[in-house]
Every structure is written in structure tokens, then in C-alpha cells.
Amino acid sequence: MSFPALARFALALPGATQDIKWGADWVASVGGKMFLVGGPHPGAWTHCSFKVDDHRFLELTGLPGFAPAPYAARYRWVAVSDAKALPLSELQALVARSHALVAGKLTRRLRLGLGID
């Protein structure tokens, strides 16, 4: 798995946009809310972070290559420092779930406008 492949996957999700935050970190958002952060840009990522379900947080942070995301662990974000921590398909499923969790907090009107729901 490569982090750029994960970035391409994230941008193919409904309503996904990208930008640079904090001067260097690549961010995928839906409805203006972040669901995947990688840095410094997709071609040279050394890590990424995304939101997970509450019940998966402890499980995932116990795996090699995963850790609670700095500054965002209280919101159940995990950081991945090893591109081979899980197969690409599993990481894609986690990023898709992050997208769904974040999109689920948007207003129905905004979700419909983004083609979600």
C-alpha cells in the first residue's frame, strides 16, 4: 500500500475535496469537515490519520504501525505510520468509514447536495 493510493481512493468518495492545512498537511474533507489527513503531501507521505468508530479505536491503536492521532485521539482519530500496517483494501475500508462517520454529522441538506444519502 502507498499513501498516494489511499489519497486517490479518498478523493473518489462522494463529495470529497482536498486542500493543504497548517501549511504542509494534505487533507481530504467532505462538506468542509476533514476525514483523512496526510503529510506533507501525497507523494511523500510518512503517515496519515483518520477517524474510526469508537469501538475500533482501542483495537486499531493496539496494532503495530497504528497510534492515537496527536491532538485528535479524543475524537477517535488514529495515526498510521507504516504503509504496510494493513492491506490496502482494509485501509481503504477504514478511510471509507471515516468519510461516512464525518458525512453522517453533516446536515441532510448538505449531504444531499454532495450526492450522499
What is the span of the domain harbouring residue 31? 3-113
The reported pLDDT for the residue numbered 43 is: 60
The reported pLDDT for the residue numbered 85 is: 85
Q: Give 75-109 pLDDT, tens digit per residue.
A: 999 999 887 888 989 999 999 999 999 999 999 99
CATH of residue 57's domain is 3.90.1150.30
Cis status, amide bond into 40, omega within 30 of 0: yes
Q: Give 33-65 pLDDT, tens digit per residue.
A: 999 998 766 566 778 999 999 999 999 999 999
- Of 84 and 14, the structure prediction assigns the larger pLDDT to 14
Chain mean position to CA 37: 6
In the chain, the number of structural domains is 1
Residue with cell 475524537: 75
- CA nearest to 37, candidates 63, 75, 84: 75
82 — alpha (psi -120 to 50), left (phi > 0) or beta?
Answer: beta
DSSP 63-102: STTEEEPTTTGGGTEEEE--TTSS-HHHHHHHHHHHHHHH
What pTM value is reported for the model? Answer: 0.92
